[in-house]
A and B are shown apart, each in its own frame.
Chain A
Amino acid sequence: MTSPLQQKIKITGPSVVTANRTIDGVVVYRSADQRWATDLAEAAIVRDAPTARALLAEAAADDVGAVGAYIAPVLIAADGTVLPGNLREQIRRDGVSITLPSVR
C-alpha cells in the first residue's frame, strides 16, 4: 500500500490536514502547534504542496494520536472563518445530515 506521504500532493486552494482520533475515531485537525484539535478553526492552513507535505508528514508521525491523516480542502470566508471545502468534509465536521434515530 502506498503511504499517504508517498502519494503525489496536489492542492488547488487552502487546505488542512485531518484525521480520526485513535481512541474514539473523532474527527481532528492538525494545528500549527502540532496538536490534534477537534475544532476546524484551530487547523493549520496550508496553501502549497511543499508546506502541505511537511504538515502531513509531521501529523502522520503521530500514529498514536490519530489515524489516516490526509489533506482536505477548506474555504476561507470573507471574515476569515475556515469552512469545509466539500460535502464530505462538511459532514465530517458537522456530523450526520439526518436526525439520529435515538433522538427522534
Chain B
Amino acid sequence: MYVYDEIDRTLVAERVAEFRDQVQRRLSGELTEEEFKPLRLMNGVYLQLHAYMFRVAIPYGTLSAPQLRKLAEVAQRYDRGYGHFTTRQNIQFNWIKLADLPDALAELAEVGLHAMQTSGNCTRNVTADQWGGVAPGEVEDPRLWAEILRQHTTLHPEFSFLPRKFKIAITASEHDRAAIKIHDIGLRLRRNEQGETGFEVLVGGGLGRSPFIAKTIKPFVAGRDLLSYVEAILRVYNQYGRRDNIYKARIKILVHELGIDKFAAEVENEWRQLAGGPLTLDDETIADIRSRFIYPDYPPLPDAKELLAQASASEPAFATWLANSVAPHKQPGYAIVTLSLKPVGAPPGDATAEQMAAIADLAERYSFSEIRVAHEQNLVLPHVAQRDLPELWHALEAIGVATPNVNLITDIIACPGLDYCSLANARSIPIAQQLTRRFSSAAAQALGQLHLNISGCINACGHHHVGHIGILGVEKNGEEYYQITIGGRADQKAQLGELLGPAVPFDQVADVIEDLVEAYRELRAGPQELFVDTVSRLGVEPFKERVYATRQ
C-alpha cells in the first residue's frame, strides 16, 4: 500500500470543500449547468440516462481494506447498494444524488479516496498491472512509477485542458496484464544492458471510433527521465493535438497523421529542452516515494503443495478454482488470488456493498489488508498464504466471488451499455448475462483462455476491439444489433479484431457466439491452441462461413 503524505491529505480535503461550494452554488442557481458541467466532470460526476454517475479514482488499482469498506458504505448510504468496477481500475456508482455528492466525497476523503483524474480532458488515473509488486519475474513494482506520475500529473495546470483525455498504463512483466498497447502512453519497465531501470515508451494506442495499437517511440528512457519524457510527449500533444474535432482529438490521431517517426522527432526535440532539468528524478525523490509503499512483512512459509493437493482431492470444486483463479507469487509460500466479479447471470464487474465489506474483512484476515482492482473488472487479493487457500475459498464461495472463470469465455469485460449510459446505442449487460448462462457448462469452461469483450457503442469502453471475441452494440432502425469481431487481443501481442460480417440482432448474439465456439472446437490444431491463435492461423473466413452459412 502507498501511504499518502500531508500534501495529499490536504489536497483531497480542500477538494471536498471546493466541490461542496460548487454543488451548493449549482443547486441555488448561481451556477448554470453550462458553468457547472466542467467542474463536476473534474470530480468524476457524469449525468447518465437516469441519474448522476460518480466515478471514484483507485490509483493503479490498489485499495486498502478500510478504503474498500468505505466504498461499501458509500454504496449503501448514497447509492443502491452496489458499485461497478471499471476497465480503468476505478469504481462507479450509478445512482448518486447531486445533493449527496459532497457528503459522499467527504466520507471517501477520510480514507484518502477522491475522484480527481477520473474524467475531463486531463491525464486520467494511471493504471498498472494488478499483480504489481507480487508477480514473479517482474522488473520492479510498476506502481512506484504510476505513483510518481500520479503526483506529477494531478491537477497539473499545463495538462488540465488537453485536447482530449489522456490515459497512461504501466507494466513491468513480460506478460502485459495492463493492456499498455491500447493506451495514449504505454510504459513497459525494463532494464538496459547496463542494468539500469527504465522504460520502453509506446504512444498512440487507443480504441473507440478509430482504434490503433500503440507504437514504440523510444526503446529505453531511464527511470530518472520518466517525467521529463512524458512531459515532452504531453507538450507535443498539447500543441499539435486537434481541438477542432472531438473525434480526431486523441493523441492516436496525431501520431497517425504525423507518422510515428515525425512524432518521435518532435518529442525528442521537446525533450532536449527538458532533459536534465528540474523534472529529472533524483535517487532521493524516488527512494522517498518508494519508502511510502508499505510491503507486507511476509512471515517465511514453505510452499503448501501437499495441503493443497489434499484439499483438491477432497473438494473437486476447490481444485478447479485453485487451477483457475490462483497464481504464483514472488514470495515462496504465498499466492495471488483473483476474485471473479463475473458470476453466471450477473452484470460483469459489479459488487454489492455486502460483498465489498466482506472482501475488505477477508483482505484483512488473509491478504495483509490489501486488494487490487484488475482492468478486466475483477478484484485480487495479492498476498495470500498458500496454506490459507482452502479456508479463503470457502469464504469467497459464500459471498459469490469464487466463480472459477478467470480468463475464460464467461470472464466478460462489459461496459454499462444502454441500461445506464447516455452514449450507448445498445445494451451490453443483458448480452453478457445471456452469454454467461449459455457458456456456464464445464465443457465451455474447458475451452481455455478466451476473452470476450462487449461495448454498447463505438466509444469502446468494453474494449471490444481487443477481445478474442468482440461484440459491439449498434442501432439499426431503432433495434439493437451487434457487430462481432474476432482475433483481437490486449496483451503484449496486442492486435485489433477483424469484423466477422453483418451485425446480428439482440436475440441471435448468443447463437452466433456458440457457432464461433463450435467452429473453433473443430478447427483448432489441438486442445492447447487458444481460440485467438486458431483465428490468427486460419483467418476470419472459416469462422465467417460457419456463422453466416445459415443466416443469410
Contacts and interface: CB of A to CB of B under 8 A. Distances in A.
Contacts of A78: none
Contact of B98 (A24, A63, A100, A104): A24
Contacts of A88: 49, 418
B32 interface: yes
Interface stretch (B169-177, B303-311, B345-353, B523-531): B345-353
A100 B50 contact: no
A97 B430 contact: yes
Interface string B427-450: 101100100000000000000000
Contacts, number: 81
B420 interface: yes
B26 interface: yes
The range of chain A's interface size is: 20 to 34
A25 B480 CA distance: 25
A76 interface: no
Contacts of A52: none
Contacts of A103: 81
B420 A25 contact: no
A77 interface: no
Contacts of A27: 49-50
A22 interface: yes
A95 B50 contact: yes
B347 A25 contact: no
Interface string B1-44: 00000000000000000000000001111001110000000000
A102 B347 CA distance: 11
Contact of B347 (A24, A86, A87, A98): A98
A67 interface: yes
Shortest 7 CB-CB distances between A and B: which pairs?
A: A102-B81, A25-B51, A24-B97, A96-B419, A64-B29, A101-B82, A25-B52
Interface of B: 26-29, 32-34, 47-52, 80-82, 97-99, 346-347, 350-353, 418-420, 427, 429-430, 433, 478, 480
6 contacts: A23-B98, A91-B418, A95-B50, A100-B80, A100-B81, A101-B352
